[in-house]
Amino acid sequence: MATAGEKLRGSKESSLQSEESAGPGESRMTLTGSLNSWESDLTSIQHTLKFVLKLREEFVCPVCRGVVLNPQQNSCGHIYCFHCLQGLLESSSPSSPVCPVDGAVITPAEVFQDNCCKREISNLEVYCTNSPACTSVVTLHHLQEHLRSCPYEQLQCCNPGCRAVLQRRYLQDHLTNTCPQRTEPCPLCQQPQRLGLIQDHVQTSCPEVELDCPNSCSQKVPRHKLTEHRDACPDLHIDCPFKKFGCLVKDKRKKVKLHEDAAVNHHMLLVLRSNTHLEQQVEVLQEEALLRHQEVQTDSLLLADVQEEIRPLLQQNSSHEHIISTAQRTLSRQEDTLSTIQREVQQVARGLGPGLEELEQLRKSLDAVIQEVSATEALKEHLASLEDNLKHHSGLLDLHAAQLSRNKEHLRELEATSYDGKLIWKIEDFRSRKEAEARGQLPCLSSAPFHTSRCGYKMAAKIYLNGDGEGRGTHLSLYVVLMPGDFDALLPWPFKQTVSLSILDQSGAGNHRSLSFRPDPTSKSFQRPAAESIGNVAVGFSCFVPLSKLETPQEAMYVNNDTLFVKVKVDTAGLEQL
């Protein structure tokens, strides 16, 4: 519900601009003006304002017939609202916007803001929009300011979930005392809660609500102290403190306390028994430690003996290192001798250099030729193998392509097949197919098969977009044909059901064009089709509709977006369902 105050709280506009496109070489017409906040907010209610004195005709906008806001004066002397003049310029031809009063041409360059008229209008006295309840009279430019404090202004309650709308003077009392969605403090914890949710808050989450102890003791405990109470609840089941020594008693805390006081001797025996067991374990560990100490002493004696045995070996190792050092020096001298011999051999080789280099190049060339011949032979064998594989895979690919084509055709037929005696056939690219048919490239189009029932007659539709027989070139020809079906042996023959052929109106008006026929029992077209045939002779209308009325009908649209819809309906009344 929009109130007057809400209408005035619109978006502020500091400037407006309107442009209209001009032709090549022409200038663009521009209108610019400023709109004060109070003027933009009054736009939505300018026709409902009630003035104290009758509004002078010169202050009435000739376009919207409301009080002029942000007056713009034309060269003819008439003034308009800025937004009305802007709309007039945008909706008129760029070369001829005219004044709606006297027909004078409006030239944006000659339009100016009439500030004198603007001051007069802003000081006009108006009644409050909430009159007669409110008797205030204010100037036009102070109306918005008045409505912000008017006690009779209709306002909506700001509490979430409340949709009440009431006058400003009653709003505070409503918010504080009567609003069903107001906020009130919880009577127990004093936390603010919505009035309708206080009971649920008390029942589910209020921390100060006293609850029965979950352990069924006689105390009532505030919800937020339940955890603290559990640590002292006398009815909570706990284990005896001497459980680690072997006491198996588990009972309510108060009874466990009595048990603890009454069974002191038993608990002491358990403690002593535990201590005795621990002492025995300590003695066993001490014996094991003594054995480990004796083993360490024995290992120390053995280590000393081994060190005595190793000492002569270390001396022998020192002697062997001296021998190895001597051998290394001898090897170094032999390496020097070998280096000298290598240099002499290189000198001899340089003397034989040219002949050896030529021989080496011939040997390398021969090796390269042998490798190329071997590679060529291997490549020929590999190429022959690839050719055989290519032939094999090409054959497989042809088989797969043929099978895929058959599968696609079968799938298309299954998707389009219906079993209720009805066919809706969508024919796209109407004009190009009609032209191809006129050139003799496309004799006719056939639809996907359809059936009168799941085990009924199998049929299809045929269409000549450029006409057939006596309708060729002038009419659209439409036929239906009976085809061999899987259940023909179970069906009555000849076929006797009435068939209706239609082209559908795509304008939404429902002006479909339809023709029907009842089969002639003596015609071969309605006898059982031969199993080896494609279908019987098609039957229908060679002059179904003139091409002129098809493409340019008066009250229908048969061809839309280059698409034609054909409908075939078989009257299945009287047919027995198998």
- Top-ranked range on mean pLDDT: pick from 61-70, 116-125, 159-168, 498-507: 498-507
Confidence of residue 564 (pLDDT cuts 50, 70, 90): very high
Confidence of residue 570 (pLDDT cuts 50, 70, 90): very high
Among 121-125, 464-468, 528-532, the range scoring the smallest mean pLDDT is 121-125
Mean pLDDT of 544-572: 91
Which is it for the CA torsion 257, 259, 263, 269, positive or negative?
negative
Contacts of 531 (CB under 8 A, 6+ apart): 484, 488
Q: How far apart are CA 72 and CA 81, in angstroms?
A: 6
Q: Exposure string (b/e) for 166-178, b if CB count within 10 Å is 16 or more? A: ebbeebeebbeee
Structure token digits, residue 519: 């089969």
Q: How far apart are CA 244 and CA 444, in angstroms?
A: 99
Residues 482/530, Cβ–Cβ less than 8 Å? no
Residue 5 pLDDT exceeds 90: no
Structure token digits, residue 122: 């802003």
Structure token digits, residue 293: 């100490």
pLDDT at residue 135, as a whole number: 87
Residue 480 pLDDT exceeds 70: yes
Residue 516 φ then ψ, to 5°: -125, 160
CA distances 205 to 202, 339, 358, Å, are 6, 101, 106
Top pLDDT among 345 and 238 is at 238
> Tokens 């003819």 label which residue?
76
How many CA atoms are closer than 13 Å to the CA of 518, on its beta-carbon side? 0
Q: Exposure string (b/e) for 495-522, b if CB count within 10 Å is 16 or more? A: bebebebbbbbbeeeeeebeeeeebeee
> Does the predicted TM-score (pTM) go above 0.75?
no
CA distances 338 to 324, 325, 335, 344, 348, Å, are 21, 20, 5, 10, 16
Residue 546 φ then ψ, to 5°: -60, 145
CA nearest to 114, candidates 72, 85, 80, 77: 72
Mean pLDDT of 344-353: 70
- Top-ranked range on mean pLDDT: pick from 45-59, 91-105, 477-491: 477-491
Residue 535 pLDDT exceeds 60: yes
Mean pLDDT of the chain: 82
- Top-ranked range on mean pLDDT: pick from 266-280, 402-416, 505-519, 545-559: 505-519
pLDDT at residue 187, as a whole number: 78
- Using left for φ > 0, alpha for ψ between -120 and 50, and beta otherwise, residue 390 falls in alpha
- Top-ranked range on mean pLDDT: pick from 73-87, 108-122, 153-167, 471-485: 471-485
CA nearest to 517, candidates 569, 456, 560: 569
- Using left for φ > 0, alpha for ψ between -120 and 50, and beta otherwise, residue 397 falls in alpha
Q: How far apart are CA 562 and CA 551, in angstroms?
A: 10
* Planar angle of CA 86, 87, 92, nearest 5 degrees: 105
Count of CB atoms within 10 A of residue 63's CB? 18
Residue 26 pLDDT exceeds 60: no
Residues 216/230, Cβ–Cβ less than 8 Å? no
Q: How far apart are CA 558 and CA 520, in angstroms?
A: 30
Please provide the DSSP assignment of 294-328 as one string: HHHHHHHHHHHHHHHHHHHHHHHHHHHHHHHHHHH
Residues 466/434, Cβ–Cβ less than 8 Å? yes
Top pLDDT among 368 and 458 is at 458
Top pLDDT among 389 and 469 is at 469
pLDDT at residue 349, as a whole number: 66
pLDDT at residue 487, as a whole number: 93
Residues 475/545, Cβ–Cβ less than 8 Å? yes
Q: How far apart are CA 504 and CA 545, in angstroms?
A: 12
In residues, how long is the chain?
578
pLDDT at residue 566, as a whole number: 97
Contacts of 372 (CB under 8 A, 6+ apart): none
